[in-house]
Structure 1
Amino acid sequence: MKIAVIGLGYVGLPLSLQFAKSGAEVLGLDIDQTKVSALLAGRSYIKHIKPESIQSAVGSKTFTASADFRRVREVSAVIICVPTPLNKNREPDISYITETGKTIAPHLQRGTLVVLESTTYPGTTDEDLRQVIEAASGLKAGIDFHLAFSPEREDPGNPSSVVATIPKIVGGFTPECLKKALDLYSIAIKTLVPVSSCRVAEAAKLLENTFRGVNIALVNELKVVYSAMGIDIWEVINAAKTKPFGFMAFYPGPGLGGHCIPIDPFYLTWKAREYGQHTRFIELAGEINTAMPEYVVHRVADALNSGKKSINGSRILIVGLAYKPNVDDERESPSYVLMESLKARGATVAYYDPYVPVIRPTREHAHWAGTTSEKWSQETIGSYDVALIATNHSSVDYKALADWSPCIVDTRNAMSGIPTKPSQVWKA
């Protein structure tokens, strides 16, 4: 089988390589020619994907990359893995999906399977994407071409997260569409979970990430409450998770980051309003998580005030720009919010992140593009009034940070167990 995977980012590239490894012939398509050129040269632009994996797939001719979407006519299945952000009004932006549909539609052959993997609200596949493809191709879904939804379940930075072994939910527009999609994914994925419709599959993905967002909001709120009581939330969580049933540990932080948890629940809240429903739990969780950077900034102010300093005029180093440990993905990272809030209060702000040596252009924080990571040295670290740990990369030497930095604000419990001076570390 020859398939096309559209969107060669954190979802599409590992999926492409897994299909190629499993014996399929894969055509990776992306509008970014620099990505295409890198892949054809055997280079990786994603930290946790080894160049050797790309070189093996390209060398064996099981994988190639292109920016020519007309080549969709060569394949029997198309998997769409494009971004689904929120717009400036915090509403779903499915333009990447619909534009992809319009682009591929004229080149679809009869009998081709189209699968959407991008996280989105229920109804996107069988309404929005279907209508766009049908209008631009003259083909009918379920008759002339097959249509399905199968949500991605990537977990970058988790070495035990392997595409082939993560159970895959699959929903089809028709029973025959579902069968075709199951046949496709059975090539590369060990466990498949068929559901009755595209909408169930879309809703399941939103539930997964909304579940995480709500529970993270709970521990973020308790972090503030317990801090006021003089209780360490991290110690509380470590004690509670010894219960072998009925409890799942979630951890607080400086806010939410990445493309999933800060965004996906709002796809559901937006769609729910269409049906006259109000998602109060989700919206409250969003308010709590969105407020966390402000709480962290207040803790930075407290730490500086203890040394008779203010944020205005201080030098503050953000330790960790990526949205989660051990990845090079800084999309939606709360570190950006912290940097901008501290800068607005008159601080000189910089960052250190071994995974993000240079800030890439982003939709909401374009003005930081080109900013480079500070050097990890005693002279550099010691020149800052505060080191604010926003992401706890395992490769960072926190013992050295304790030796070099006069004041540390820790949002990730990264300094736990490391000898420090009295009043040197402030938890936030």
Structure 2
Amino acid sequence: MTPRLGVNYTPSQGWFHHWLDFDLDAVRADLDSIAGLGLDHIRVFPLWPLFQPNRALIRPRAVEQLVALVDAAAERGLDVNVDGLQGHLSSFDFLPAWTGTWHRRNIFTDADVVAAEAEYLRTLAAALADRPNFLGMTVGNEINQFSGPPHPDPDRIGPVQAEAWLRLMLDACERGAPGKLHLHAEYDAAWYQDDHAFTPGQAARLGFATAVHSWVFNGTAQRHGHAGVATEHHAAYLIELSKAWATDAHRPVWLQEVGAPAPLIPPDHAAAFASATIANALDCTDLWGITWWCSHDVARSLADFPELEYTLGLLGNDRRVKPAGAAVARVAEELRSGPAPAPLPRTTALVVDVGEPETAPRRATCAPGGEVFEAWAALTARGVRPALVLADRAQDPAHLAARGITEVVTAAEAR
């Protein structure tokens, strides 16, 4: 199957605050500019406090506006994934008032809050279930960041509680829209942070696909430079790392967020970074698709965003195509022109030893600067195309054969 190529939709007018003054004509113009790039899907973000301002109130008008957006996308040949619990976007938290201050309750464990979250996800999914272009729900955007540090005021949980919560949320999505492609998505603490509650195993085993979010401001570009092998292959590394925990040898992986953050990726290098990152991701087997972050720049008239957030768009705030947008459009045209040969299996696998694999207490070895990360980058620089395999599977002939692995090396051997 040809991998999908799409974009995370950031409205050109008002950013995600556009839900407060929803203008379907402005949305249509944005979607026209996205379709003009030749992309095939978008990921959209309702703001949770605006859609469910009270625990017992999911605003019908807000749901109608979401349906109208999905229908407008269908008119332009765009499929839609909907993130439910927003949650967290571009450094801002969007939690309903009924979860904080005087009503402070843990969003992962409080029974009333969890039931309300489940009903919210079910309601959104049900409203879209009959739309052919509705792909499915993502539980929330990097909501794992609320579970512990470095969040300044986290709702602390452990891995058992995180998994129970994920299963409840995914079940709610399935009840609302049976058979759609429902999944969950975390930022890379799930893969890189030793004590993080959301684990690689949960990411690689729950939901229809594994979602990975690749951001090279995590130490990768700082260590390896804007055009370094590790930087241009970071997304591919996360795709391959996720496969180490998957129980299905051919589980789909969705590169659901990846972008070119300035100044670590200089603006005049953004197009080259996009081309290289996408090409390297497409060299991974079982890739469901790539969804670039993001569609349109954030307007400079909006205050307090981190500087990098203003320039991540493939299109400007004026809907003009930027060089990175033109680069992504060229890839989209190539994908439409006919199926490319499927990537070959990666026959050499690097061993990932994180301790007990379910809680992965030594995940930092997989992070930028860690032994596994740097060994994988070194192998890649030598043209090896490495896979990754957990230490407890490194001598399992059936597992290796299912993945096409014929050689296993340790980090020490890779160096």
Select the structure with the greater relative contact order (CA < 8 A; seq sep ≥ 6): 2
TM-score of the superposed pair, with normalisation by structure 2: 0.29
TM-score of the superposed pair, with normalisation by structure 1: 0.28
* Largest Rg, 1 or 2: 1
